[in-house]
Amino acid sequence: MSGPSWWEQATSELARADPVLGELIAAYPGIRLTRRSDAFTALARAIVGQQISVKAAEAVWRRFVARVSPDQAEAAFPALDALQVAAARPASLRTCGLSERKVEYVRDLAARFASGRLEASAWGRLDDEALIASLCEVKGIGRWTAEMFLIFHELRPDVLPLDDIGLQRAVAIHYHRGRRVAATTIARRARAWRPWRSAATWYLWRSLDPVPVEY
């Protein structure tokens, strides 16, 4: 697993810019945003886990890995082969617990990687919005999923996922006495967090769930 080179600078500047974040950063020492898998595996896992609980997503994911790549079944951080996934029979993938639509989505993703239509090595040349737009061309990937990928896999420092329920809850708790506010209000609040809005979001998530999520 690897973390972002900019993390120490981000936490230092955020702590000075925002007292709330300063307290959260101090409350969770020694942990940071990390990447744990390759691009294809991370996106496949995101699709598999959409709209189901964390526990259910983990169970389905483990069955999926065992089916498409048995040699990776016991790996803590499996690395899947897009060609293997693209070649898997839809009926076989359905037995893992995937809906028909998710089977379509994950096979489309695999086909794009296998054919080179999605090329992770080129993403470093794209700014955040261009990469989000490129990812959203894939069936089953919307803006929220793309933003999670930019934060957790690409380790982009300044992503603000305004549609994320966890971010909305944390901002309400810490800045508005529990009162939900509009996305525009969160965006204004987050101006003070630039250019480290990914890190700010990550610490606000920690205030709701101390265990970091990794992709």
H/E element, 136: none
Q: Is 18 a catalytic residue?
A: no
Say if residues 136 and 149 touch (Cβ distance below 8 Å): no
Residue 85: which of 188, 96, 191, 7 has the closest Cα? 96
H/E element, 151: helix 143-152
**Side-chain half-sphere CA neighbours of 81 within 13 A:** 12
Say if residues 34 and 4 touch (Cβ distance below 8 Å): no
Which runs of consecutive H residues, i.e. helices, occur in 7-127?
A: 7-17, 19-27, 39-48, 54-68, 82-87, 90-94, 100-115
Query: Angle of helix 143-152 relative to helix 39-48, nearest 10 degrees?
Result: 140
Contacts of 94 (CB under 8 A, 6+ apart): 100, 103
Q: Which of 38, 81, 158, 164 is catalytic?
A: 164
Say if residues 208 and 169 touch (Cβ distance below 8 Å): yes
| Active-site residue list | 164
